[in-house]
Every structure is written in structure tokens, then in C-alpha cells.
Structure 1
Amino acid sequence: MSLETAIQGNWQQTDSGYNIELRFPLQIMSSKIAFAIVDVDDASSGAKKFVIGTANPNRSDALGTVLVPSPEIEKILKGLKYSNARVWVVDKHMRVLARSGNIQDATGVRTKPAVAKRDTLWQRIEQDWLFPLYYQILTKPPADFVDELKDAYALQGKDLADALAGEASSQWRLSPDKKAVVISAAHPIFIDDTVMGAVVVEQTTHGIRTLRNQALEQLFHLIIAVVFLGTAALFLFASRISFKIRKLRNETESAIDDSGKILGNIPRSQSKDEIGDLSRTFHSVLDKLQQYNSYLENMSARLSHELRTPVAIVKSSLENLALEQNAENNEIDKQQYIERANSGIHRLSKILSNMSEATRLEQAIQYSERENFDISAVLIGCTEGYQAAYPTHTFSLELAEIQRTLNGSPELFAQMLDKIVTNAVEFSPPQGDIAIRLLEKNGRAQVVVSNTGPMLPDNMHEQLLDSMVSVREHHNQQGTHLGLGLYIAKIIAEYHKAKLLISNRADNKGVDVTLIF
């Protein structure tokens, strides 16, 4: 036996014993090796007291196996450049032959190299405001965790056992500190249909969690943007509505003074929304109130004129009767004064009757029974009566060859026609012509009452159909007129689902009153 100088050793004394490290070339040994330590207490005699070893060095069949990492396999693994996983190659005894990668970086997601960028305002908002808020809900993958297989020389596990049995398998496990979830997959290595080892690939779920967090960050960005834009839109919309409402309020307040007098009307809005519709309604209401207030302002003069004459007649008659009591008894003069007083009282009664006629008519319409009647028959009967009642005027009736039955009240229809014809007679000169026509136009039946006489004033075509509106001159009136005739006719026309229109004639010689059914 010769001394082998290529073998080097190092003895290290420890508190509990010693460690021996040996280094020798691989060329001088085979795949079998065994170590034995001999305890010699007597150096002079060299007697062996105790022997301990990994196997019996004197028996070749009892030697252990030499396990040497394979540089070739490691080169193959490094050549894969798969930095997102840790790869193990083990033999059939589960001993590690080669390893590549670091489990701390094995996230399963290929990341782009970081590029230095200047911090923008948006990035500062994300880092300082948004991300701290998001990660009150989200969880970041831990930057470090305990790896129990960092320096392992042998592996174990169900997936590896299945792979060495010839079937690919996978499993997941928690790190010892429970900060990370590691997913491993093992696949067998076959040589001539014999399993000689396995490849194990490991990854953590950090990459999946990172991708999830990035997706949720973008989703939260989108939600915040939608909420912000929605809030801004609602604020602008509410501000616009508030501005229009305040404007309408100011216009309405400026249209009426503190005493309730209407000073003017609000502008008619052209907006198509509900506030514009409300503005147009206010415009219409104020316009009608203004017309009614105008009538009320003029009603005192109208009633004063209408009442002054009959009151003066009654007063003068009573004064004359009182004087006659002191004078000679003249029965003829007394009878004349009594007739004049009765005439004045009759005119007063007629004024009161006209003022309450519209109210009574509305009540009568509510309780009237509808029936089908022929318009032509009513027109023929009424025209004959008008010719007898107004002999100073000429009446003509023109009936088109149409059969028109109307559902309503023939008595009310005749009353409506009376008001229209009476109005026509009063405005037409003596021996004037009044024409009544029944015709069909655009598929609708129409009754037109036409008279010669003065034209209508401008902008009074619609107002004449309102209550207590008249264009008669006071000094030309021969009776009591409170402007209710056409208003009553309008009420009856609406009861018969008709529209009443008044306009100047095309030849500018009079006025046409038209009923459109």
C-alpha cells in the first residue's frame, strides 16, 4: 500500500466532536466508495480499538454509491433560460443531480426589465393616494419567504413518487412560514422504457397574485374614473337645472309685484325639457291672467256704463213721480214714468241675467243628456226663426250634400248658434246679409256664419272668445253687452267636441265665425 498524495484532507475540531473534509480527483475513483474511521489509542502498537464507516472497505460488493452532480445536465438546464421556475433533476433514488433557478424568482410570470422613468403627476397620485387605498383590500405577495429546499440534496413528495412510478403528477404546498404557495410538477425520465429519474418544476403563485392585483388596480382606476365623471356630469346637470329653475323663479317674481299686479310676462322658453315646458305653462298662465286682469280693470267702466243708463232712468222716473204728487194729477204722465222705471229695472235684470248665464250654462251642460241629431235639420229650423226675428237682415242657408249626425244636445247647439247669429246681427249694418253654410273640408264638417260689417281689430281673434271681452264702442250700444256671447258659444262648441274660430273674411267685407267638428 502506497501513500496517495492527490488526496487532501482537513480535520476540524468542534465542541461535539470533529468534521473531516476530503478532496480527491474523480479520475482515481470509480462509482463505488466507502469511508471508515479507525480509533487507535496506542500509537506505538497501532492496535485498532474501534472502526466505524459507511461500509466495509474490504468488501467491494458492500461499497456505497458515489453521487456526483452532472455538469452536462446543469448546462442543459441553464440553456433553457427559463428564469420563472426552479427545475430539479433527480435520479431514481430521489437524489438531486442538477438544479436551475431560484424559487424566490419563480413567479411563473415573465416580467419586463424595469426602465428608469421620471415620476409623472399620475404616478405620484397612484403611489401616494390610490395604491394605499387599494391595498387596504388587496394583498401584496411577500418579498421573501422560507425555502426549505434551498440546499436540498434529495427530494421527496407525492408528485415525485408518482413520477418515479412512471406517471406525471403535480401538487401544491405551503412554505414553512405560510407566506407562499408553491406549485410543483414532476415528470418521469425514461431510458429504454425504464424510469431512471424525474424532472421537477416548481413555481410560486406570486405571479398570479401580482397579475390579479394589476388587473384590479386597472379596474379600480376605471371605477374611480367612472365615478368621478359621473359625479361631474351629475353636478353639471344639477347646476344647469338649478340655474334654469332660479332663472324661472326670478322671471316669475319680476312679472308680479308685491301687491299681486301682473307687470309683464316671462319670456317663452324654447327648451325641450320639463323646465322649458313649465316655463311655457307659466307664460300661458300669466298671459291668461293678464288678459283677465285687463278685463277686471276695464269691467268697472263697462259695468258703470251699462248700469248708469237704467239707474238714471229709474231715478228720473221716481223723481218725476214724486213731483207729480205735488202737481196736478196727470195719469198719462204717471204711466209714462212707471213704464220708464220698469224699462230700467228690466235692463238691470238683463245685466244680472247675462252675468250668471255662463255659470248656469256650465251646470246645464254637466246634466244634459246626449243624443244623436242631424245638424242640417237644426240649421234649417234656426235659420227660419232668425229671418222672422230679424226682418231687417237677409239670411241665407247653404247645405252641402253630406249626412252629418252629431252626438250632443240640439237645444244647446241651437243656443250656440243663437249667440253667434246675434253677434253677427249686431255688427252687420241694416239690410246686411248673413250667410250660414254647412260644408265639408279636409274630411271635417264645418259650420260657417258670415256677416258683412266692420273688420276685427288686430290681435283680437282669439281674445274675443274669452269671457267678458267685447270690442263694441260704448256710444254705439243699444242694449246690454258684457262680452259673454261668443264665450258661451265656445263652451257649447267644446261640449260638442268642436273648435270655434273667428276671423276676417277673405274679401275684407266682414267676419267669419267657423265651427270645425
Structure 2
Amino acid sequence: MASATATAKPKRGGGGREEDPRGPRPSRFRWLPGSRLGRLIIALNVLGLAILIAGALVLNELRQGLVNARIDSLTTQGELMAAIIDQAATVGEPTPAMDPSNASLALQMLANPKAQRARLFDAQGQPIADSDVVADRVEQRALPPARPRGGQGLSLPRRVRPQGAVAEEARAALRREVGKALLGQHVAGLRRDEDGRRVVSVSIPIQNVQQILGVLTLEANDVDQIIAREREALIPFILIAMAVSLSSSLLLTRLIAQPVRRLARAADRVRLAGARAISLPDLAKRDDELGDLTRSLEDMTQALSERMDAIESFAADVAHEIKNPLTSLRSAVETLDLITEPAARERLLRILKNDVQRLDRLVTDISNASRLDAELSRDNPKPVDLEKLIGDIVGLYQATAKPGEVSVRFVRPTGPESVIVLGREGSLGQVFRNLIDNARSFSPPGGVVEVAVQHGAGRVLATVSDSGPGIPEENLETVFERFYTSRPKGAAFGGNSGLGLSIARQIVEAHGGALKAQNRVVDGQVIGAVFLLILPEVKT
């Protein structure tokens, strides 16, 4: 991975990363399989699932729903039992009272000790009957473990009902509940019984007309058992959810973390092993974001590789082109001391002057070519009036023309509309200057270089024509290569660097256009060359 190789870098200045003398730090999730991203995916999935399981096990809402349902059930049963006891155990006229014997008998017939505990209280809150006592119910408790051999014998069980603070608090809570019921209220809620167990309790007054004869209390302690059964029922779903979550985590690790790690290793190979491009065909075939990323990285590294090849080729061409005038200069300087004839020395000095000018032109054009990419990427394109730009350039040539030199003429487009293109004025001006200088160098003395502009159908066509010997058909494309300097017979040697047309095409293509070369033919005879510059037009 990239992070692994980065730690192996030597110490660097200028804000670079330094190697940790303690070595690589261990991951918090090193025990999980896969890469760091894969371990993180698994850990986060398991963490989220654990939170979900914890929330399901708490069951707050389910517990409250069960309590409410149990209260409703006990209330319904209690109201029915209270009505029956009122009918069966009410005695006395005109002041009614409850017969304890009949009430106890009715409670014995109506109560279900297995489902709940029923207790009956008189009008003063004193207990009359208890379903646990009526049904002769005996509570069973497991004996504690025997003491080790040599001890004091078996440990005796504690009392069936603890007599501590818990029991006293439970009896006090029951008295408060019965007291409220004696006031004619239906009381329901959760409380603790004498054994400390949580019970759902309802207390219903037994009422004859307006007279309260007693209170019926029903208790159910099966809420915890119901919740336990609900939790047990959730266990299969929890196991299935864990299996699905773990499977999805492993799948995400295989589909995301491992491919990302492969991309990082491929990038490290490009950086450390001298590889020119990333190549991962299997990932590039994927129809997802990782496939897009892989294809983009492959295209990016391929473009960088091509740029590096171009730079290497350019450096080799520059070395070759500069070596020629330097060799000529060295030969002329070495010969200069051996020549005493003034005319020969004068010719040799002219050669030295021409070589120096040629070298100066080469260095200037090489500098322009090397800065071209940076200038094109730094300046933002803006609307450029091409007619005005060409007019200013041609006017400068006309103002500095000398007698007998090649003249430059501009054929302006017809129509009132301006010719607007989107580009960089300085770069486009360099294109036309290079084309005009090239055309002038090939035209005979007294010749004319003509610049014309046409526009329509969403494009602009600019032409630069000369009256020279033309271009051989096999070289119509070669003239745009760097350092191509094929000259006609009689042309001055070293007058061109061979970079002007290459720079011009590069600028035009960066503006979304095209630059081509053709010959001007009349009656089968070549009368010159013409360069066609095509750019997209911007409507105003």
C-alpha cells in the first residue's frame, strides 16, 4: 500500500515526511483480516450491528407495551370478579356489608393461582382472603449447595418470605395501593412484592351502589418471563443479521478495499520502480466508481508517460540542434587565427555572426516552446476579435518594411460582423507571427504574403499564403515537426530554428482548432504554399 511504502522514505528536508524511529505503528484492528480500509469496514459494520442488538435487547417499548396489555387484562378480570363477589357476598339492609366467608369462597372459585395472585381486603383495608392461601399453594425453592466436607453440615434455607427492608417496603406499597382503591379509584402499575419480584398489580374497589365494601387486588409476575421469551425469539434473527453483516463486510472488503490497495501498489511501482504507467485491465473493466478511477489513473499515467517521452525527445533534439552551430563556431574560431587574408577573414567573421544569430534564435524558440504548456494552462481563454488582432500584426509588418523586402497584406472579411474566437490573444498573435515569418522566409524578394479571414457555419478560417516554391507533397505534414528545416536552394542557411510551425500547431490545437498546409496550384503549377488555420467561432 501507499501508506506502507511512504514510511520507508529517508528523511527529507522542506516539509517532507520523516521515518518514524519506532517503526510502523500497529493497527488497532490488526487481528481482523484484509487491509486497513477492509478492517475499518468490518469494524464499523459490526459496531453498528452491536448497537442494533443492544437496542433490541433493551426492549423498552416492548416491555411497556406488555405491561400495559397485562394491566388491561387484569383490570378486565378484576372488574368481572369484583362484580361477582359483590353479588355473592353482600349482606345487610339497609347498610350493605361484605360477608368474609362468602367472599373467600367466591374468590376461591374465581381465582387462577397459576396465572396471577388475587387478594381480598375489607372496607378497613384488612386482608380477608389470599388466592395463594386458599389454593394451598406451596412455593418451591432450590436448596443451596452443600458445604465442603468437614464443615458444619448443610446450609439451611432462608425463610420463604424475607422479612427485611424489601418485604416491609413491599407491604407498605400494597397498603398505599389498597388505600387509594378504598377511595373509589382503580389503581394499576408496577411494584415489588414481598419476595422482591417485579409484579403488575391492579386494585379494584368492590362497590355496592355508592358503598365500598372492600378491595380486590390482582398481581401477575410473568412480565419478566414474557420479555425473556421475546429475547429468546430474537436470537435466530440476531444470528442471521450478524451473518449477513459479516458477509457484506467481507464482500465490501473484496470489492473495495483490496482493489484500492492494488491501485496504491501500482502507483508505488510507478513512483519507485520507474514504471511509466498503471495497468490493471481487470479493474478497468469494472462498471463502477473503482473502474472509473482505474481508467482515469491509467489514462493519466499514460499521458504523463507520453509527456515524459516527448520531453526526452525534445531534449535530444535540442542538444542536436544546438550542437551544430556550436561546432561551426568552434571551427570558425580555430580557423580565424590561421587566416591572414582580409577578405577571407571577413567571410569567416560573417559566418561567426550568422552562427551566433542562429544560436540566439534557437535558444529563444526553445525557451518559447518549453514555456508554452505553462502559458496555455495559466491564462484563461477570453473572446478575441481576430480581425483586429491580425490587422494590428499586419500593420506592424507594414510599418517596419524596408524597400525590396517581402510585403504583408491583409484581406479583411466582408460583412459588418466581427470575427470573434475564444482564446488567448498573446498565443494567437504568436501563431500568426510564426506563420507570416515562415511565409516571408520562403517568398522571393519583392513578393507578397497574403493573410485572409473568412467565417461562417460556426467556424473561422484564416489563411496565410506565400509566393514561394511550395512544399513537397510528402512533407505537408512533416513541416510541423520540431526542428524540421528543409530549405529551398539559394535560401539562407540557419534563418529558421524549425520550431515556429510546431509551436503554432500546438497553440491552435490547444484552442480546439486545426492547422494544415497546402500548395497553391494554378494550371498544374505550384505558385506557393498556404497555411489554413481553423478555429471555432463565438457568436456575439
User: Does 1:397 pair with 2:411?
Assistant: yes
Match of 1:167 in 2: 185
Match of 2:116 in 1: 85
**Quick one: which amino acid aligns to residue 291 of structure 1?**
A
Cα distance, 1:382 vs structure 2: 5.2
Q: Is the 8 A contact 1:255 1:265 kept in 2?
A: no
The alpha-carbon deviation at position 224 of structure 1 amounts to: 5.2
* 1:354 partnered with 2:355: no
Match of 1:184 among 195, 198, 201: 201
* Structure 2, unaligned runs of 5 or more: 1-88, 90-98, 141-158, 168-172, 285-289, 522-528
Task: Tell me how far apart the structure 2 counterparts of residues 360 and 498 of structure 1 sit (CA, whole Å).
Answer: 21
The 5 Å alignment of 1:359-370 reads none
2-structure distance, mates of 1:422, 1:375? 16
State the distance in 2 between where 1:86 and 1:432 align: 124
Secondary structure of residue in 1 paired with 2:127: coil
1:1-16 matched pairs, under 5 angstroms: none
Distance apart, 1:295 and its partner CA = 2.7
Aligned to 1:56: none
1:284 to partner: Cα distance: 1.7
Tell which structure's C-alpha radius of gyration is larger. Answer: 1
Deviations 1:170-194 (A, max 9, x none): 354334453x222311112234443
Q: CA shift at 1:341, angstroms?
A: 1.0
Q: Name the structure 2 match of 1:341.
A: 348
Q: Does 1:94 align with 2:127?
A: yes
> Which residue among 375, 385, 391 is the counterpart of 1:377?
391
TM-fit CA distance, 1:70:
5.5
- Aligned CA distance change for structure 1 residues 277 and 177 (closer, same or farther; 3 Å): same
> Measured at CA, do residues 294 and 83 of structure 1 come closer, stay the same or move farther in structure 2, by a change above 3 Å?
farther
Distance verdict in 2 for CA 1:103–1:210, change over 3 Å:
farther
Could you tell me whether the CA contact under 8 Å between 1:413 and 1:492 is conserved in 2? yes
State, as a whole percentage, how many aligned pairs show the same letter.
15
Over the residues paired in the alignment, what is the CA RMSD in angstroms? Answer: 5.6
Give distance in 2, aligned partners of 1:489 and 1:390: 27
Deviation at 1:444, TM superposition (A): 6.5
Aligned mates of 2:225, 2:403 — CA distance in 1: 106
The count of residues paired between Structure 1 and Structure 2 equals: 377
Which letter does structure 2 place at the counterpart of 1:512?
A: L
2:532 corresponds in structure 1 to 512
SS at match of 2:411: strand
Distance 1:209 1:336 in 2: 119
Is 1:194 the equivalent of 2:211? yes
Paired residue secondary structure (2:483): coil
Q: Is this contact kept in 1: 2:421–2:535, CA < 8 A? A: no
Task: Give the structure 2 partner of residue 303 of structure 1.
Answer: 322
CA distance in 2, matches of 1:498, 1:344: 40
- C-alpha distance after superposition, 1:173-225 (max 9, x if no partner): 334453x2223111122344433443322123415753785699699769856
**C-alpha separation in 2, matches of 1:475 and 1:214:** 98
The TM-score with structure 2 as length reference comes to 0.52
Report whether the alignment pairs 1:203 with 2:223.
no
1:185 is paired with a residue of what secondary structure? strand
Q: In structure 1, how many angstroms separate the alpha carbons of the residues matched to 2:463 and 2:266?
A: 45
- For the 8 Å contact 2:107–2:129, the answer to whether it is kept is no
Amino acid at match of 1:335: P
Q: Is the 8 A contact 1:395 1:434 kept in 2?
A: yes
CA shift for structure 1 position 251: 5.5
Shift, 1:228, TM fit = 3.6
- Within 1, Cα distance between the matches of 2:183 and 2:425? 110
What is the distance in 1 between the residues matched to 2:231 and 2:122? 39
Matched, 1:422 2:437: yes
Q: Which amino acid counterpart does residue 439 of structure 1 have in structure 2?
A: Q
CA contact (8 A) 2:404 2:446 kept: no
Partners in 1 of 2:493 and 2:192 — Cα distance? 111
Ranked by relative contact order (alpha carbons within 8 Å, sequence separation 6 or more), the top structure is 2
Q: Which residue of 1 aligns with 2:483?
A: 470
CA distance 1:429–1:206, shift in 2 (3 Å): farther
Q: Helix, strand or coil: the match of 1:173?
A: strand
Change (3 A) 1:391 1:455: farther
Shift of the alpha carbon at 1:342? 1.8
Could you list the per-position Cα deviations for residues 115-157 of structure 1 after superposition, in whole angstroms to 9, with x for gaps in the alignment?
A: xxxxxxxxxxxxxxxxxxxxxxxxxxxxxx966799xxxx962
Greater percentage in helix = 2
In the aligned structure 1, how far is the partner of 2:273 from the partner of 2:183?
97
Residue identity in the other structure for 2:433: D
Report if the CA contact (8 A) 2:408-2:451 is conserved. no
Work out whether residues 86 and 202 of structure 1, in 8 Å CA contact, stay in contact via their aligned partners in 2.
yes
Structure 1 unaligned segments of length 5 or more: list them: 1-30, 32-64, 106-144, 257-263, 323-333
Aligned partner of 2:300: which letter?
A: T
Secondary structure in 2 matching 1:347: helix
Q: Which has the higher strand share?
A: 1
User: 2:434 is paired with a residue of what secondary structure?
Assistant: helix
Matched residue, 2:260: 241
Work out whether residues 394 and 431 of structure 1, in 8 Å CA contact, stay in contact via their aligned partners in 2: no
| Residues 136-155 of structure 1 mapped to structure 2, 5 A cutoff | none
Which residue number corresponds to residue 281 of structure 1? Answer: 300
Structure-2 residue corresponding to 1:449? 464
d(CA) in 2 for partners of 1:75, 1:507 = 125
